A and B are shown apart, each in its own frame.
Chain A
Amino acid sequence: MTTMSSFFSWVAQRGWRHLVAIVMCVFAIFPLLYVVSASFASSGTLTASNQLFASFTFDNYVDLLSDPDRPYLTWWFNTLIIAASAATIALLFGSLAAYAFSRLRFRGRRIGLGALVLTQLFPQFLGVVAIFLLVRTLGDAVPALGLNTHTGLIAVYLGGALGINTYLMYGYFNTVPREIDEAAKIDGASHVRTFFTIILPLVAPILVIVWMITYIAVAGDYVIASAILSDPNMQTATVGLFTLINTFRSDNWGAFSAGAILSALPVVLMFLYGQKYIIGGLSAGSVK
């Protein structure tokens, strides 16, 4: 009887949460099992069979990594470099801007905040022609910022990332009590010091999150990356992989799935590792 009631109270307090978590995890994962299955299958199709894991072979991975026409490893590292650089620099710029909006009072602050988000409302998908022409013009003068360069692509992403990131961090910075800045100021720390050594460590969770969100957005982008990078050795994994399957001769699904899984790995590993910074020691006082 006691065990029963303690079971029910466990269900009421925690058990249902486990249930929700498990159901949602299944919802999140089951479509992806198709990708995993296709990556180990010999048939080269994606959804034509409802029998998952009917065959098991590493051929797709071997194909993917050994075909000289598909420099997948190069794509993989390109993605890592482009997405990590863009995410890091965007994080720096975004946090500087968020600090200004959160801590400093200046003319046009409200309007500026609004304008920042308004620029993000532009359907970039339809603006890609302009981006292409702009990067080409820049590249005529400064080849390092031109078409087919990683630096050029990173620069485009930096322009696109500022608005949302700033907003996300602005909200978080606002939750850090101002007294902390004041105390540092009284102690004679310069604003730069205060920002880098006091504020940033306090907002570490949002920094990790913004970094990851930017990384994922950049790594998953197809429209801009495919417009700017045409040389296969410069492309990102998303662009390179898409050329494998965007055809009516659809027998590349196995290699494509293998590639998609290898591309998702860094994100998953980063999250596993980054979680502790997001949660920190902070969950102690949260909802129980």
Chain B
Amino acid sequence: MRLSTTKPASVGSALRPKASIFGLTVKIILIGLVDAFGLFMVSQFFLVDQIGLAAVAILGLVVINVIYWRRGGLAAKYLTPGLVFLLVFQVFVIIYTVIISFTNSGTGHNVSKDSAIESIINNSIVRVEDSPTYDVRVLEQGGNLFLLATSPDGDFFLGGQDEPLKPVVPSKTASGIATEVTGYNTLKLAQIFAVQEELAELTVPLDDNPADGYLRSADGSTAFVFSANLVYDASNDTFVDPSTGNTFVDNGAGNFVDSNGEELQPGWNTAIGFANYAKALGASAQVELLGVFVWTLTYAVSSVALTFGLGLFLAITINGLRGTRLYRSLLILPYAFPVFLSGLIWSGLLNETFGFVNQVLLGGASVPWLQDPILAKISVILVSVWFGFPYFFLVCLGALQSVPPELAEAARVDGAKPSQVFSKITLPLVLVATSPLLVAGFAFSFNDFNTIFVLTGGGPINIDSSISAGATDILITLVYKQAFVNTTVDYGLASAFAVIIFLVITIMSIFLFRRTRSLEEVY
């Protein structure tokens, strides 16, 4: 007998005082720790000027304290620990993705506008052609950096940030390189390392005319003459090329462009409204996409159904056999290796010319397992079953344990055949415990990027496809191809696709849930 009714009673009677001192102490300590951490976070958010996040954190803390210190509201007390993480790392991520989907975030629009301007300014500073190389020392006075420069002609100059070079009389080395000037402290390499970020910013004008250029030293020992071929005009928010007068203006989509449409790189990250959705839905308008969608559904449904069916069948079949422990341990092995590894192995095994399956198992046949469009679809489903059946095997093993043996026993006593016991008692109970997982499993397979991508990359290729959809491409691998083209990554577009797929699958799942609910009510 599994469930002893006497045991809980005896345990319970030992605990008669309802709110034990021990329990209260634990509660105070735990909530105290949470509050401590929460207040710490709030203070840190303030320190880094994330006022909005600080407000959210305060609100969260208040809610948590209300939940745990008020009487009643028991459910909330049990749900809150998990919900906190769910809200922050799942719900918030979804919201964040929605936000990204309205931006041009991605390759070429990867930084803030300020950094983009800074980058353009830095990149526009080029060495003046045929200009001399100066030997320099980095000097310090009153916390400011200076460059002591020896020109190729053997003249000596000193200058600092916005202080043009002026001739000086320094101490110098035997080879005639200036090393020190009285009143200034010459920095050694180790000291220069300590101020390297300031040194990187240091531009010393050659003379009072900025157009003549600046001296800059990247390494602290040599300096070159630079001038800017673009000047940023902060008041108009434009870049001007001083030699041609060509003006680049903010085009509202994250780039400075001139009248010929030439863009300055880099661009920046900015909101672009519904453009990504227009693009995503434009791509979705293709009739071909319907085929991909149908295949995605077919893949998800057959993969889950077969995976679950096999897992359940094995869990039942192997139960109680001699050697069952060994069988079980071997059967979960596929699950213990990462999908991308076993996926590569399967793609090798199924190689038409060289693979183990054709060469060894089928004695040199050339079955195009992953090359024929139809066969490739069957192959990916079968391999996905290999990946997934141990999961459902484990889950069903657990679910089978929840079937009260008394029920089956009673049915048997009433004269039910073993097959009837299974179909009328065991199976419905197992389904009750696992049906929600079937929905989740469906959602997982629907977005099962790894299996498809590692096994076939979406292929075999269909070069007639206008959207590059291969025979085994499911929606998510197709999105990947659209939003991540080689080194060009479009996070905004990917996010818009993510939101669309999320909506589609949510609607389908709600429909499926309606069905499973009726299942659940059986119990």
Contact = CB atoms under 8 A, between A and B. Distances in A.
Interface of A: 14, 17-18, 20-21, 24-25, 27-29, 31-32, 34-35, 46-48, 50, 92-94, 96-97, 99-100, 104, 106, 109, 112, 114, 116-127, 129-131, 133-134, 137, 140-142, 155-156, 158-160, 162-164, 166-168, 170-172, 174-177, 179-180, 183-194, 197-198, 202, 205-206, 208-209, 212-213, 216, 220, 222, 238, 242, 256, 260, 263-264, 267-268, 271-272, 275, 278-288
B276 interface: no
A175 B317 contact: no
A14 B317 CA distance: 9
B436 interface: yes
A84 B409 CA distance: 38
Interface of B: 2-3, 5, 7-9, 11-13, 15-20, 23, 40-41, 44-45, 47-48, 50, 53, 74-76, 78-79, 81-83, 85-94, 96-97, 100, 105, 310, 314, 316-321, 323, 325, 327-342, 344-349, 351, 354-356, 359-360, 386, 390-391, 394-395, 397-406, 408-409, 418, 421-422, 426, 429, 432-437, 439-440, 443, 447, 449, 476, 479, 491, 494-495, 497-498, 501-502, 505-506, 509-510, 513, 523
B404 A175 contact: yes
A175 B429 contact: yes
Contact of B5 (A183, A238, A268): A183
A126 B11 contact: no
8 contacts: A48-B348, A96-B79, A122-B93, A127-B93, A159-B86, A172-B398, A174-B523, A189-B12
Nearest to B11: A197
A171 B432 contact: yes
Nearest to A216: B335
B52 to A, nearest CB: 10
Given A21-B318, A125-B476, A47 B345 contact: yes
A123 B9 CA distance: 47
A31 B11 contact: no
Contacts of A177: 3
A38 B434 CA distance: 38
Contacts of B506: 118, 121
A100 B75 contact: yes
A175 to B, nearest CB: 4
Contact of A50 (B17, B319, B359, B494): B359
B8 A14 contact: no
A214 to B, nearest CB: 12
A261 to B, nearest CB: 8
Contact of B437 (A25, A47, A168, A220): A168
A21 B356 contact: no
Nearest to B408: A285
Contact of A283 (B12, B319, B355): B319
Contact of A34 (B348, B426, B436): B348
B386 A114 contact: no
Contacts of B498: 122-123, 126-127
A208 B397 CA distance: 11
A93 B81 contact: yes
Given A175-B402, A177-B3, A134 B334 contact: no
A127 B437 CA distance: 22
B20 to A, nearest CB: 7
Given A25-B331, A47-B348, A117 B11 contact: no
B17 to A, nearest CB: 8
B82 A96 contact: yes
A220 B45 CA distance: 33
B15 A190 contact: yes
B93 A134 contact: yes
Contacts of B105: 129
B85 to A, nearest CB: 4
Given A168-B436, A171-B434, A185-B12, 10 more contacts: A14-B321, A96-B78, A126-B476, A126-B501, A140-B48, A168-B437, A177-B3, A183-B9, A188-B18, A264-B336
B317 A162 contact: no
A280 B397 CA distance: 11
A285 B338 contact: no
A187 B408 contact: no
Contacts of B23: 190, 192-193
A228 B327 CA distance: 37
A165 B436 CA distance: 11
A252 B371 CA distance: 27
B89 A134 contact: yes
B405 A188 contact: no
Contacts of A191: 74
Nearest to A172: B402
A268 B333 contact: yes
A215 to B, nearest CB: 10
Given A159-B88, A188-B12, A121 B509 contact: yes
A30 B83 CA distance: 42
B425 to A, nearest CB: 10
Contact of B337 (A32, A118, A126): A32
B171 to A, nearest CB: 46
A175 B354 CA distance: 51
A155 to B, nearest CB: 6
A162 B440 CA distance: 12
B6 to A, nearest CB: 9
Nearest to B425: A287
A282 to B, nearest CB: 5
A120 B339 CA distance: 20
A166 B82 contact: yes
Nearest to B436: A167
Given A117-B436, A117-B509, A126 B318 contact: no
Contacts of B310: 24
A284 B92 contact: no
B317 A121 contact: no
Given A127-B94, A159-B86, A28 B386 contact: yes
B340 A242 contact: yes
Nearest to B477: A125
A287 B422 contact: yes
B494 A126 contact: yes
Contacts of A187: 8-9, 11-13, 15-16
B251 to A, nearest CB: 24
Contacts of A260: 337-338, 341
B391 A213 contact: yes
B49 to A, nearest CB: 10
Nearest to B78: A100
A63 B374 CA distance: 42
Given A190-B15, A260-B341, A129 B82 contact: no
A156 B89 contact: yes
Nearest to A45: B348
A167 B443 CA distance: 14
